[in-house]
Amino acid sequence: MIYTITLNPTIDYIVTVPHLNLGHSHHMEEELITPGGKGIMVSRVLKALGIPSIALGFRGGFTGDFVRDYLEEMQIINQFTVIKERTRINLVLKSDQDTEISDYGPAATDEEVAVFMKCFEDISTQDFVVLSGSKLPSMPKDFYERLIRSLHEEGVPFACDITKDELRNSLQYHPLVVKPNQKEVGELFGRTFATWQEVIPYGKQLVELGAQHAIVSLGGDGALLFTPQEVIYAPPLSGEVANPVGSGDSMVAGFVGTFIRTGDPLEAFRVAVACGTATAFSPDIATADEIEVQLARVVLEKIE
């Protein structure tokens, strides 16, 4: 079984207001209310691919109930730890320019965290864990590393989509795949990149430092896959970007779900690119049909 971890889930409230004029009243043209958080997004895409998962994390209040009910309606098993404080709400305002207002999230008590940690007692080496996104603001800086170290010591395979020091610290435990974007690679190594080609030496370092595979998303320039043997480039697919939120999470789901079934990193990368592209071209997480359309268009090029 694949377990997805969303420590700090959210309700994403996405509203469209044409020609926003600050200081005036407006009527929204469209709205979309969905559960968010990177691990939840991974579970939703795995569902579209026909792959079961169990979503773990924290939820609280009426917003946490919404997350639970939405996932149950999608027939995604979720075993979130209930906390006293309310699950956060993020506002995405789509207008002439997109604006996002994000909440930091609730706090969890030591007792609530202890209940969450009990979830891992039933996870075995036959399972797989995906760790994604931000921590609760009350958690210590090394919470992810402690969790990853515990998985590694128990022999549980995992993947992670986390950033900066958390990403760096995870590499020594040999995740199946990490998936930073170009900006996050630059932040990790203290670099800025004028072209996507400049990313290549640093993507290779992610593998040299311990990752089994690394995917670096390049926005409008496509994506790169790094393995111990080669570097593969997927050029961008043409189309209109409707909503980039969740595109990276979709790539993680596509890679992990396919690699577990096939053991083939190139096929897993191909599906990852299709999933990420399909979600970027969709107002919400991509459907199975949308993924299939993009899968037929994906081209992979060996760089090294």
Tell me the mean pLDDT per 10 residues along the chain, length 304.
97 88 84 92 97 98 97 96 97 85 94 96 95 94 94 96 90 97 93 94 97 95 96 94 87 98 98 96 92 96 92
Polymer length in residues for the chain: 304
Residue 196 CB contacts under 8 Å (≥ 6 apart), including other chains: 182, 218, 221, 222, 224
pLDDT of residue 110: 96
Q: Would strands 53-59 and 158-161 be described as parallel, antiparallel, or unpaired?
A: unpaired
Q: Which amino acid is at 263?
A: G
Q: For 75, left (φ over 0), alpha (ψ -120 to 50), or beta?
A: left
Main-chain phi, psi angles of 111, to 5 degrees: -65, -40
Pick the catalytic residue from 65, 98, 249, 284.
Answer: 249
Query: Which fold is adopted by the domain 2-19+27-302?
Result: UDP-N-acetylmuramoyl-L-alanine:D-glutamate ligase (3.40.1190)
Angle CA(245)–CA(283)–CA(182) in degrees, nearest 5?
25
CA distance 226 to 282: 27
**CA distance linking residue 152 with residue 168, whole number of Å:** 15
Q: Is 249 a catalytic residue?
A: yes
Query: Closest Cα to residue 249, out of 101, 79, 78, 133?
Result: 133
Radius of gyration of the chain (CA): 19
The pair of structure tokens assigned to 1 is 């079984």
- Asked if 62 and 82 count as a contact pair (C-beta separation under 8 A), the reply is no
